[in-house]
Each structure stands twice: as structure tokens, then as C-alpha cells.
Structure 1
Amino acid sequence: MTSGLDATDGSLAPADPWLAQAHILVVDDEPGMRNFLVRTLAPRCARVEAVGDVADAGRLLDSNHFDLIILDNILGGRTGLAWLAELRRDGLFTEVILITAFADLETAIEALRAGAADFVLKPFRTKQILNAVARCLDRAALRRENFVLRRQLGTAPRSEAVSRIVGTSPQMARIRELVARAAATPSTVLITGESGTAKEITARALHEQSPFADRPFVPVNCGAIAAEIIESELFGHVKGAFTGAASSREGLFFYAQGGTLFLDEIAELPLALQAKLLRVIEDRKVRPVGSDREIPIDLRLVAATNTDLAEQVAAGRFRADLYYRLDVFRIHLPPLRERVEDIEPLARMFMEQISSQLGLPPLPIRPSVLQRFEAYPWPGNARELRNRIERALILGAFDEPDPGAPAEARTDDLAEVEKRHILRVLAASDGNRAEAARRLGVSRKTLDRKCAEWNA
């Protein structure tokens, strides 16, 4: 509990980066308190709105995203706590600071149970409310960042994303130009290309060059999430929405607020969910599963696919209206076989990165190795090249082909290497195919098909 002496102290809280970007809603029926909070917060925040009752507050929340609500507990006819409980039941997870002139320990405990992030006792000093706001925003940002980091375990560190758009070919120079152009706008981007062409890396680079680079980048592999739970994963759900929903939960759209949501393998979305995603893009609102309330969102959407969406539309497997909504700005990543000059810089980058990660000395990439690499079609693209470098580091040498062997046998059997790798990851996941698909970065359907081919 935070308490203070008065509301006129002019001392300032330390500058906070989240405060400067925050959109804050003040709900208090005292005009003097509303004016004080607006004067205090407006010069330090991106936006402040102030209203005197929950009806006006509800209308604002229906059409705008707010990072924080400062809520008075006594609001002429009902309590702020009762309204807060209603918001939480509707699936609105905005941070809330409860303020009141009448408080006891029971009220403070009830506020925390209802979902308030902090509890401030009137009268309070300027610095105290600013510190409470900064703490609340910082905790929310840290929670989102921790969630994103847990999802990103095993992926490229954020600082590597831009440097990994590697290549000296004209095609990659054009890709870097397109990324820079798209990054300057909030427009939806569709990234296309074969598997292994670094679509997620391109999406990360786009995010990092954007004005909201310090906001979350949330990647989602649509093919790795079971169809029966993907709606809840994306939009969240309220308590009791379905069997097993013992509590309310934020969705991935919530965690990406202010940043970028990257929907990889977008073609794997079930048709029913495609319709709901289309509405989200058009209305900029999401409806948690089991809720009657639509919640405004503020983020950039980037989608990716290794399939031809136009063909999927013609076959009735993808909605035409969603396709046109996604295809605002397209970035197509060419396969590695069409840009042979990029093989050497990629190979050398992978050698440096992987040798450092494994704690092994880098291997020299001799001209004979490069010649073989440049003659190979790389059906798995840059991902396959990376795997080849890692395998060579583990073995301590690049495999040398038998000079008398036919040309098609002079390269490792990709299918066998792929099979061993997938089965090894599946075993490490205790046979859980959904988890193995997530670790492999492929859809559950792809993994099921591979296992069926191998009778595994």
C-alpha cells in the first residue's frame, strides 16, 4: 500500500521509458482529482483521458487501447472494485491502480484479488503516483518480455536478427531495402518463401527497424498449435469459457500490444479461425473466448507462409478476403539455389555463430567445400546449410565425397539426416509431437506426415 501527505508536491519521479509511451485512463468522480492527475501525467505520457464514471470509461475502453487505468474506488453508486471485477470477467487485462481516500487492509487485499496491480491511498504526492504508475508499467512490460522470451527459447537472439539478413546478391539487397521501407509504416506485411529461407529472421529485422522496436515481438507458429486451442492461444479466454478454463488468461495478441505479432505458417489456420482473424484485422479488436466484450488492440501484424496462398484460395482452403487483407505489402524471399553468391557469406556466418555456441574451434571452409556447396541445390535452403555447418563442427570435418561416386551421391543424404534429426527431437520431447513440432519449427501436420512415412 502506498500513502502520502498531499497532492501538490512538485517533485518528479525518475524518467521512465514505458511512461513516455503509455496511454492512461483516469476514472474518478472528483473533478479536482481528475484535473490533478491529467496535469501530472499528460506532460509525461503519450495520452491521458479522464472521465467521471464507469459508463464513460467503458465507452472509451470499447474503442481505444489503454496501458493503464487509474481507478477511484468510490464512484457514486458503485465501487471501482466491482467494476474492476466486471472487466476481468470480460477478459480485459489492462493494468489497474486503485486509488481511494477510505481504505483498510481488507480493501487492499480485495483490490489485489480483483486484479489491481497497485493500491494508492489519497492524498498522495505527485512523485508517489508517478512512481506507482512507473512500477505498474514496468512490471507489465517485464511480464510480457518474460512470456515472449519463454516462447523464443532456442531462436536467434534479437540483436542478431538484422545482421542475419546476410548476402551479397542483388536479391538480398532488394530484401533489405523492402524491409527498411516496410519498417517505417504500421502496415500489415506478408512474407513468402520456401521453408528455410529465413522468414522469421526477416520479420524480426522488420520489427527491429520499426519505431516500436523496444516493444514485444511475438512469434506464433500457427501450424504447431492444435486447432482446438489456437483461438484461445491467440485471443485469450475468460474463466469458465470451456472445460479446464479454471482462470482467465491473456492471449498472444495481448502480449504483442504495441509491438509486432508474427503469424508464421498462416496457411495452417483453420477456416473458422481465418474468419475471426479477418474481423480482428478489420476492427482492430479481439474477443477472448467466452467473453461478450471486444478489446481494442494496437500492434503490427506480420504473416508468413511457404505455400502459394492464391492456390490455397482457389482450392477453398484459405479465405480470399483474408488473403487480400494480409497481402498489403509482400516480401518474397528467394531460395538459396537462386542466389549462389550468398552461400559463402552465410556459411561463414553460421560457422562463426555455431562454433561459438558449441564451444568448438571453427573449421576452415576450403575452396573445395565451397565448390560443392555452390553446386548443391539446397532444398532446405539456409536452414539446411546451417545444419550442414553444425554437423561438420560436431564431426570435426566436412565430409569428403568418394571421387568415384555418382554426382547425386556426393552430398550427404538430406532425407536421412532430416529423419535422424526429427526422430532425435521427438525422443527428446518424450514422444510429444506438438512439442517436437514447436522445437523443430514445423507444423504438426508436417511432423505427422513424416512420421507416417517412416512408420514412426
Structure 2
Amino acid sequence: MTLRDELRYLLADDLSPFERITGMLSLFGKLPGCRRHRLHVASSFDAPQFSPARAEWERANVADQVLRTGRETLAQGVRAVPLARGGQVVASLLIDGEAPLPEEAGLLLRLLAVEIDATGHASGSRAAAELVWRSPAMRALVGQIRRVALRRCPVLIVGEPGTGKELVAWLLHQWSRRWQGRFVRRSAASITDTLAEAAVHGHVEGAYTGATGHEEGMFRLAHGGTLFLDEIARAERNLQGNLLRVLSAREVTEVGGRREIPVDVRLIAATNVNLEDLVAAGVFQRDLLDRLTEERLVIPPLRERREDVEPLVRRFLGGFAPSEWPPEVDEILARQSWPGNIRELAQVCGHILVHGDGVLCARTLEAALSARRARLETAGREDPGSDRLLKDILAETERTLISERLGRFGGSTLKAAQSLGIPDRTLRHKLSRRRRQSRGPG
């Protein structure tokens, strides 16, 4: 069996990232020509302590270069592969040895870096959901994602709102051979019919009124990587036609230009509606649907995989999650249908972090669920002509956003503040003031 086959089976198995890393290290040691190589993990200029015998400064320089650029580097017999944790490059894997590495070792080391990345995703980070499933349905989906990631064809991701379609798209990119390329996100709903051609192909300066400069289209931006197009069901006819054209020809022609420019992009589309119904209604092109569904991934809603609720709650509460919680908490969680899926659960946990001091019990959970229901009812009844003050609307929006971000990042005010674009001190002040208000006087 070849190394590629062994890696393929290793990735397809339902193993934890730690088990896969152990398996890959074992495979590395068995490769001809690799037995005399040593693997070191270096962060910035700490490489000398691992190999004092030779060229300490060179290792330090290579390690630091990887940290700055995020790209694989080879210099003076030292190969460095970037290691990420939580999606950020924090260290490098240094391969030290006199003999050149066999070509197939490169693939193994890149996959090893991805698995190390997966072990370091703290609660709320982009690929954390890879580590928190417990249900057979999600185990099967993750295995399918790993297999589909190795293909080059378009993928259609189907799932209800809040199930994590963008996360699945990102994992497809991260686990593919395009992982070093760009991951470009666009929403089909935001692209108007009149600007569809420019959005897809780009435009030259002066191509039309308002085209003050040269601008690359989404396919040029994603060249060599992945284009994630959300809400594909809301794509207007002109956008559908341009997408089909590029998928067929694999080239773009900028608006106002004449040159046909080849593009190498993997398109991943996502939808929460049945596109077959739209085709039957005559609002979505059959040819485009056929192109998009060479591979199809369906994300099950949270109500169909209730085994995942507990680990997801622990993820969203982060260090605030108790080792054990009262049985009534499980009963309350089991009664919920979770129409908003993982996003709704994250917001509920965020409310517990903000208003319940991070304490998970029946009282704080019921309060969080009631608050969410009240927000939904208020949003449904909101009359544009009402006398509700702008400051009240903004305050409600702010509360919702803060709760959602805190839930997403496991209670970390620093990460939540960074995602909101405000200082950590400001967010802490807002939370402190809100807790005082919720407790009332005295």
C-alpha cells in the first residue's frame, strides 16, 4: 500500500486529530530516506534550543520567516512547514536532515500541519465544530468532507440557517490541495443583476459609469483557491448565466476588456432551500444546478442530532462550562427544537455568559431561552412606523451581537471584542454595566 493510500484511509477513519497525528508520525518514520531526519516544533527564535549542534541562526531565521509569511520555506537543508492553531500560524515544523526528503513526505507533512491545527482550535474558532460532534450523522458528514475535499469539482452545501455551511466550506478548502490559496466569500443575494457580470469577471477602468479603476472579479480573486458563494438560491438570472459561463470555460473576460483570462478556482455554493423546486418554478437554471451538484453535502439540523448539543454547549461556554450540570438542564435542552440550529444555541450560551455570569443552571438557561423568544417576537412585530426610539433599537441590536459573539468565542471577551472591532476594555465595561442593570438597585 502506498503512502497516499495509507494517508487516505487514515483521514477517512473516524479518529480524533490526536490519533491521526500519531499515525502520521509513525508513517513518516517508515518512509525510506526519512529515518535520519528529525522533526522539531519552533516558534519564532526558539529554534536554537532544539538543535545546538549546527546552524542555529539559520533555523531561527527559517522559523521566523514562516511565522511572518505563513508559507512553507526551504533553506540550507532545513524545511519549515507552518503550524496553525485556531487558524493562526503560531509555530513551524522544522525538518532537519542531510539527505533530501522524498517527494511524498511533503504531502504527509502538510496534512500533519492541518491535523495539528485541528487540535488547537479553542472554543469558538472556525474549525472547532470538527472536534465537538458526537452523533453518527456528523461523524459521517466529517468523513464525507474529508473525501470530497480531495476532489476539484464544485460542491453544493445544503443546510438550514445556522447549521454551519460556511464552516463546512472552509473545511473543504483547508483539507484540500488548495489550502494555501485564498478562500473568498461572497453572498449571491448581495449581487444585483446589473452588476453581476462585473462581480464575476471584474472590470477595467472606465468600463461603465462609476468604474473609476481596475477591479478583479471574484474568480480572479480566488484564483488558485476556493470561492464560497452563499445563498446561491437568491442568485439573479444574470449572475446564474455568468457563473455557468465561467464554470464551463474556466476563464473570465473583464467588462470593458478583450482578453480571456484563465482561472483555476473551486466553487463551493450553499443554500437553505431546495434548488430543484426553484428549477421547476423556472427561476433557477437546470444547467447551473447540474454543474454545482457534482458533489452534494447535506448538514443535518441540530434537532436531528441531539447528541451534539452537550458538547456544543461546552464549546460555547468554554472555561465556564461545568464538568457536570444538573439533570434539569439536560431536560430543558432536550425540549428545544432549535429552529436556529447552532447559531441559536450559541446565542443562548452567549446570554448565559453575559447575564448569568457564565453559570449554567436551569434558571439561567430558562432566562436565556425566554430572552431569545422575546427578541424574535419583538422583531416579528416591529413596525417601521412605530415610536420605538432609535437608541432602544440600537441597544437591543448591541445586546444580541455581544451575546452571539461571546457564545461563539467561548466567553473570551478579548476575541469577542476583536471580532466586533472594539477594545477589550470597552466590551468589559459594557458587560459590567449590563450586569449591574440586570441585578437592579441594591
- TM-score of the superposition, structure 2-length normalised? 0.54
Q: Residue 70 of structure 1 corresponds to which residue in structure 2? A: none
Bigger Rg, which one? 1
Contact persistence 2:328–2:362 (CA under 8 A): no
CA drift of 1:206 comes to 0.9
| Secondary structure of 1:164's aligned partner | helix
Is 1:162 the counterpart of 2:162 in the alignment? Answer: no
In structure 2, the residue corresponding to 1:187 is in which secondary structure?
coil
Q: Which string of whole-angstrom CA distances, capped at 9 and with x for unpartnered residues, describes residues 19-59 of structure 1? A: 999xxxxxxxxxxxxxxxxxxxxxxxxxxxxxxxxxxxxxx
Superposed displacement of residue 340, structure 1: 0.7
The question of whether the paired residues in 1 share the 8 Å contact of 2:122 and 2:128 is answered with no
1:296 aligns with 2:262: yes
CA distance in structure 1 between the aligned counterparts of 2:151 and 2:125, rounded to whole angstroms: 22
Q: Per-residue deviation at 1:157?
A: 10
Question: Partners of 2:290 and 2:203 in 1: how far apart?
Answer: 28
- Mapped to 2, the partners of 1:293 and 1:425 lie a distance apart of 51
Aligned partners of 1:401 and 1:411 also within 8 Å: no
Say if 2:191 and 2:235, in contact at 8 Å, map to a contact too: no
**Mapped partners of 1:157, 1:218: distance in 2:** 23
CA distance in 1, matches of 2:245, 2:221: 19
2:327 paired with 1:367: yes
CA shift in 2, pair 1:367/1:227, >3 Å? farther
Superposed counterparts of 1:417-456, under 5 Å: 424=394
Q: Distance in 2 between matches of 1:288 and 1:301?
A: 19
> 1:387 corresponds to which residue?
347
Kindly report which structure 2 residues correspond to 1:63-74, keeping only aligned pairs within 5 A, or say none.
Answer: none
**How far off is 1:249 after superposition?**
0.8
Deviation at 1:389, TM superposition (A): 0.6
In the alignment, the residues of structure 2 paired with residue 256 and residue 235 of structure 1 have an alpha-carbon distance, to the nearest angstrom, of 12
Cα distance between partner residues in 2 of 1:275 and 1:266: 13
- Give the distance between the partners of 2:179 and 2:299, measured in 1 at CA: 22
Kindly indicate whether residue 311 of structure 2 is the aligned counterpart of residue 351 of structure 1.
no
Distance 1:159 1:376 in 2: 22
AA at the equivalent of 1:390 = G
- Separation in structure 1 between the aligned mates of residue 215 and residue 155 of structure 2, nearest angstrom: 28
Are the structure 2 counterparts of residues 157 and 232 from structure 1 closer, same or farther at C-alpha, using a change threshold of 3 Å?
farther
Cα distance in 2, alignment partners of residues 369 and 192 from structure 1: 31
Q: How many residues align?
A: 272
What is the Cα deviation at residue 416 of structure 1?
3.3
User: Aligned partners of 2:123, 2:246: CA distance in 1, in Å?
Assistant: 27
Aligned counterpart, 1:416: 377
- Give the Cα separation in 2 of the matches to 1:350 and 1:236: 40
* 2:123/2:316 contact within 8 Å kept: no
Q: Distance in 2 between matches of 1:399 and 1:226?
A: 47
1:272 partner SS: helix
Asked if residue 376 in structure 1 is aligned to residue 336 in structure 2, the reply is: yes
Amino acid at match of 1:280: V
Residues of 2 paired with 1:282 and 1:245: CA distance? Answer: 27
Structure 2 unmatched runs, 5+: 1-61, 74-120, 383-391, 399-418, 421-442
Name the structure with the higher helix share. Answer: 2
- Shift of the 293–399 alpha-carbon distance from structure 1 to 2, 3 Å rule, reads farther
Question: Match of 2:279?
Answer: 313
Question: 1:253 matched to which residue of 2?
Answer: 219
Q: Is the 8 A contact 2:197 2:238 kept in 1?
A: no
Structure 1 unaligned residues grouped into runs of 5+: 1-13, 22-155, 356-360, 429-438, 441-456
Are residues 182 and 202 of structure 1, via their aligned partners in 2, closer, same or farther at CA, if it must alter by over 3 Å? same
Residue 375 of structure 1 deviates from its aligned partner by 1.4
Report the Cα offset of residue 287 of structure 1: 2.0
The residue type paired with residue 293 of structure 2 is D
Distance 1:417 1:295, change over 3 A: farther
- Which of the residues 220, 230, 233 maps onto 2:186? 220
Distance 1:273-1:367 versus aligned 2 partners, 3 A rule: same
Aligned to 1:236: 202
User: Which amino acid letter does the alignment assign opposite residue 284 of structure 1?
Assistant: R
RMSD of aligned residue pairs (Cα, Å): 3.8
> What pairs up with 1:88-167 in 2 under 5 angstroms?
160-165=125-130, 166-167=132-133
Q: Name the amino acid aligned to 1:326.
A: L
Local SS of the residue matching 2:198? helix
Q: CA deviation at 1:215?
A: 1.1
Tell me which amino acid in the other structure corresponds to 2:277: E
Is the contact made by 1:363 and 1:393 (CA closer than 8 Å) also made in structure 2?
no
1:201-232 Cα shifts (integer Å, max 9, x gaps): 00101111111211111111221344433432
Structure 1 residue identity aligned to 2:333: F
Indicate the SS of the match to 1:262.
Answer: strand
- In structure 1, C-alpha distance between the alignment counterparts of 2:397 and 2:164, rounded to whole Å: 26
Q: What percent of counterpart residues are identical? A: 38
If the length of structure 1 is used for normalisation, what is the TM-score?
0.53
In the alignment, the residues of structure 1 paired with residue 322 and residue 199 of structure 2 have an alpha-carbon distance, to the nearest angstrom, of 43
Report the AA paired with residue 415 of structure 1. Answer: L
Choose between structure 1 and 2 for higher RCO, CA contacts under 8 A separated by at least 6 residues: 1
